[in-house]
Amino acid sequence: MSLRLFVSRDAGAIAVGADEVALALEQAAARRGVAIEIVRTGSRGMYWLEPLVEVATPQGRIAFGPITEADVPSLLDALSNNTPHLLRLGATDEIPWLKRQTRLTFARCGVIDPRSLDDYRAHGGYKGLERALSLGTDATLDEIIASGLRGRGGAGFPTGIKWKTVAQAKADRKFIVCNADEGDSGTFADRMIMEGDPFLVIEGMTIAGLTVGATKGYIYIRSEYPHAVEAMNAAIVAARRGGYLGSKIGGSTYRFDLEVRVGAGAYVCGEETSLLESLEGRRGIVRAKPPLPAHHGLFGKPTVINNVLSFAAVPFILAEGAKTYADYGMGRSRGTMPIQLAGNLRYGGLFETAFGVTLGELVDDIGGGTITGRPVRAVQVGGPLGAYFPRALFDTPFDYEAFAARDGLIGHGGIVVFDDSVDMRRQARFAMEFCAIESCGKCTPCRIGSTRGVETIEKIINGERVHENLALVEDLCSTMKFGSLCALGGFTPYPVLSALKHFREDFVPVPITLQAAE
């Protein structure tokens, strides 16, 4: 009997040696005359265990990891003779970190072969589209609205309302645009799902297309994600061949097709109107709103633009019903959020769970604290425009409103953990620096204010007129907050002001004379 093994082809797994492990397994098996088949899946999201190797058994998959090339001979011994192995983790589904998640969007990621439409269908794929086709467009729209789904790109705008606006707009052409620019540091869920379950994104966009009456969609992927570009392109070709893109989608009368476009290294192009400018072939300068993209979007036509995860949530909502999805969550944050645990953390990776889990649970319990073993000091939530939270705020539940109430944001769900060696002055300076590098240049507070911010924080670091310069930074922040067109200039104050507020001691050293007197 041949051994059926699973090794991830996710970029995060490849970056730590998954390709080398897969090759070594093949070669060693060939030398030994052991028949094996290696399926390259997406990642399960337990990155500290990558490269993870799984083997199919009658009792389900058994996991081993992290495996290096050097472990391959002993691993093959253990697999062939059914003997123990030091890196054996037991049944994959029973690994507590995975078991305590609620994987609705990421249910198939790491399980199926992302290149195989058959595998996707065998694991429940395209059930959402089938139900949407049988419900019709109005009832499908009602489902999305009833699910309470809010955009996962950052702003948390209700997806159903957006779709309804486009559905009601009259135009000769409409577009669906998938925002796969994922520029926030500490986030990788879009990348993972595109690499690990690309048909899910296609299915979600297709449902959007037929619901609002659009026949063409674009997926705008950042250039830093070549593996995702390749995976999406391969899946689009397979979906066309399988009758799921093109004319007569899934046997219906609907027509819908997709095209991948690649960004060119501009963070601001994740902002929806800048992204549309970029898709049209121009500089990614943010447009003033109104008009909304829903009315006047790509090439001036009504356009649904959503984040990858928003589209990826749609097939489940249709297949299992809006209520099943909405039953998860808290307050106005319904369903699940694929949370990304990153930075200095022992157990980093993708953790999908219902809204409501606290920051402390995520960092200390699920994330296991720092990899350096030092105390956690600061946590940045929501990417480069998100606030730094101290331990004192670890009781904040993961929920749009709860974070906003504490001058933070959950953004795209990234959590970056820092230990006590962090210098918050440097983090504040970086926030300003990043804004200066990435500003589209349209607003003076964003373009000039951020550069002044870098200079001023630099002076604080050098101990020059600290109090005066701190007041100046606060002033700059308020100008940026109220004088910027988009959230790049408008939200950069979040990380800066949160650093100043919660980590004041880094900026204003305790007077030495007082310390000495004690």
Partner 1 sequence: MTASYEPWDETRGAEIIAEHANQEGATLVILHALQQAFGYVPEAAIPMVAKALNLSRAEVHGVFTFYHDFRHKPAGRHVLKLCRAEACQAAGGDALAARAEAKLGVSLGSTTPDDRVTLEPIYCLGLCATAPSAMLDGRLIGRLDQKRLDALIVEAQR
Ligand X SMILES: Cc1cc2nc3c(=O)[nH]c(=O)nc-3n(C[C@H](O)[C@H](O)[C@H](O)COP(=O)(O)O)c2cc1C
Considering only residues 92-151, where is the footprint of ligand X by CB under 6 A? 151
Contact call for residues 229 and 221 (beta carbons, < 8 A):
yes
Considering only residues 229-268, where is the footprint of ligand SF4 by CB under 6 A? 268
Residues 6 or more apart whose CB falls under 8 angstroms from that of 209 comprise 176, 215, 216, 217, 254, 256
Return the amino acid letter for 407.
D
Region of 23-31, 200-208, 441-449, 454-462 interacting with ligand SF4 (CB under 6 A): 441-449
| By CB under 6 A, residue 269 contacts ligand SF4 | no
| By CB under 8 A, residue 340 contacts partner 1 | yes
| Distance in Å, CB of 114 to partner 1, minimum | 16
Considering only residues 11-70, where is the footprint of partner 1 by CB under 8 A? 11-12, 14-16, 47-48, 50
* CA geometry: angle 222, 224, 227, nearest 5 deg: 95
Q: Token digits for 261?
A: 């476009």
Q: Which does 197 bind (CB under 5 to 8 A by kind): ligand FES, ligand SF4, partner 1, none?
A: none
Can you tell me the distance from the alpha carbon of 224 to that of 446, in angstroms, rounded to the nearest whole number?
25
Residues 6 or more apart whose CB falls under 8 angstroms from that of 219 comprise 177, 178, 180, 201, 205, 232, 258, 259, 260, 261
Closer by beta carbon to partner 1, 135 or else 371: 371
End-to-end CA distance of the chain: 75
| By CB under 8 A, residue 371 contacts partner 1 | yes
| Distance in Å, CB of 269 to ligand SF4, minimum | 10
| Distance in Å, CB of 274 to ligand FES, minimum | 8
Site string for ligand SF4, 475-504 (x = CB under 6 A): ---------xxx-xxx--------------
Can you tell me the distance from the alpha carbon of 275 to that of 180, in angstroms, rounded to the nearest whole number?
10
Site string for ligand X, 480-499 (x = CB under 6 A): ------xxx-----------
Region of 177-185, 249-257, 468-476, 509-517 interacting with partner 1 (CB under 8 A): 177-185
Task: Give the residue among 293, 333, 289 at the shortest CA–CA distance from 148.
Answer: 333
Can you tell me the distance from the alpha carbon of 23 to that of 44, in angstroms, rounded to the nearest whole number?
20
| Distance in Å, CB of 404 to ligand SF4, minimum | 19
| Distance in Å, CB of 432 to ligand SF4, minimum | 12
Ordered alpha helix ranges (H), 362-485: 400-405, 424-438, 444-461, 466-483
List interacting residues with ligand SF4 (CB under 6 A): 268, 286, 439-443, 446-447, 484-486, 488-490
List interacting residues with ligand X (CB under 6 A): 151-155, 157, 179, 181-183, 268, 270-272, 305-307, 310, 486-488
